[in-house]
Amino acid sequence: MKVELFLSPNSVDELHFTDRTVVVIDVLRATTSIISAMENGAGELIPVASIEFAMKMSNNLFGGKTLLAGERNGLKIDGFNLGNSPLEFTREVVNGKSIILFTTNGSKAIAKTKFSEQTMICSFTNISAVAELLLSTRKSVTLLCSGSQGLFSLEDTVCAGMLAEKLLQGEDEVNVSDSVKTALVLARKFGDNIGTMLKESEHGRYLMEKGFTDDLSYCAEVDRSSVVPIFLSNAIKAVTA
Ligand code: MLT
């Protein structure tokens, strides 16, 4: 099993994902919110790469079953039903609904993997379930951190390193790239206190300034979910481990 890692979507062409098993990580907060939505019964979630496309899609859907969700600069977009806080995607709000999601980095990173064989959505909240699913398929995997504005982000890289650690523990023959080795070092350094690492990260500090401190606590809850959302044919649906 080979494990490779891209620290930002900008460092890879979309064709690289063709027919691969991919894992996308955006701990703060897109992938954590998607896991929360799926855990709470959302029927499907469609990640999009622009606000205009999100609007256009929602105009073509009807029946009151579709919600528009997402953020710009961390805050809910005017005219959208929901922002991008995992705490907003409660069962009362999302059960049975289709959700169109636009976020600054995460939804774009997921949409970029549209040619993959399958893309798993990962965060600290479902990390063991993702590892279990990957180990059961035993296929080589490409990890993709959403990062921040095309750059590295600490929280996504630590999560990727923790996931790689679980794969190394679960399988004898794992061949990891240099970027995975780097992520493993960071996961070993910061993995024991995810809450503190998130609070000290750049985006974590920004979110706290905007009043989202409770989101950080939620995003730090390792393995609170056993749901693995899978992006396939342009939509995300849930698989329970
Ligand atoms: C993103 O995709 O950039 C985010 O998830 C930002 C956020 O909502 O905190």
Q: How far apart are CA 171 and CA 129, in angstroms?
A: 15
Atom of ligand 1 at shortest distance to CA of 83? 8
Contacts of 219 (CB under 8 A, 6+ apart): 27, 28, 29, 32, 86, 123, 124, 125, 155, 198
pTM: 0.96
Average pLDDT over residues 83-109: 97
Q: Report the 10 Å Cβ neighbour count for 32.
A: 33
Please tell me the distance between residue 70's alpha carbon and the centre of ligand 1 in angstroms: 8
3 state SS of 38: helix
Average pLDDT value over all residues in the chain: 95
* Ligand 1 lining (C-beta closer than 6 Å): 26, 28-30, 71, 74, 84, 103-106, 146, 207
pLDDT at 68: 96
Q: How far apart are CA 140 and CA 94, in angstroms?
A: 33
3 state SS of 205: helix
Domains, the chain, with CATH or none: 2-233 (3.90.1560.10)
Q: How far apart are CA 58 and CA 65, in angstroms?
A: 10
Q: How far apart are CA 46 and CA 69, in angstroms?
A: 10
Tokens coding 155: 């929280």
Confidence of residue 224 (pLDDT cuts 50, 70, 90): very high
Atom of ligand 1 at shortest distance to CA of 103? 2
Q: What confidence tens digit (pLDDT) does each residue in 24-65 have?
A: 999 999 999 999 999 999 999 999 999 998 988 887 665 567
Q: What confidence tens digit (pLDDT) does each residue in 132-176 have?
A: 999 999 899 999 999 999 999 999 999 999 999 999 999 999 999
Query: Which CA distances in Å does 72 have to 18, 49, 76, 110?
Result: 29, 12, 7, 17
3 state SS of 89: coil
Pocket test for ligand 1, best of 10, 25, 29 (most atoms within 8 A of CB): 29
Query: Which CA distances in Å does 238 have to 53, 54, 82, 133, 137?
Result: 23, 21, 20, 12, 17
Please tell me the distance between residue 233's alpha carbon and the centre of ligand 1 in angstroms: 23
Pocket test for ligand 1, best of 25, 103, 219 (most atoms within 8 A of CB): 103
Please tell me the distance between residue 6's alpha carbon and the centre of ligand 1 in angstroms: 18
Please tell me the distance between residue 1's alpha carbon and the centre of ligand 1 in angstroms: 31
DSSP for 161-203 reads HHHHHHHHHH-S--EE-HHHHHHHHHHHHHGGGHHHHHHHSHH
Please tell me the distance between residue 4's alpha carbon and the centre of ligand 1 in angstroms: 23
Please tell me the distance between residue 142's alpha carbon and the centre of ligand 1 in angstroms: 21
Please tell me the distance between residue 192's alpha carbon and the centre of ligand 1 in angstroms: 24
Query: Which CA distances in Å does 11 have to 7, 30, 141, 158, 217?
Result: 7, 20, 17, 18, 30
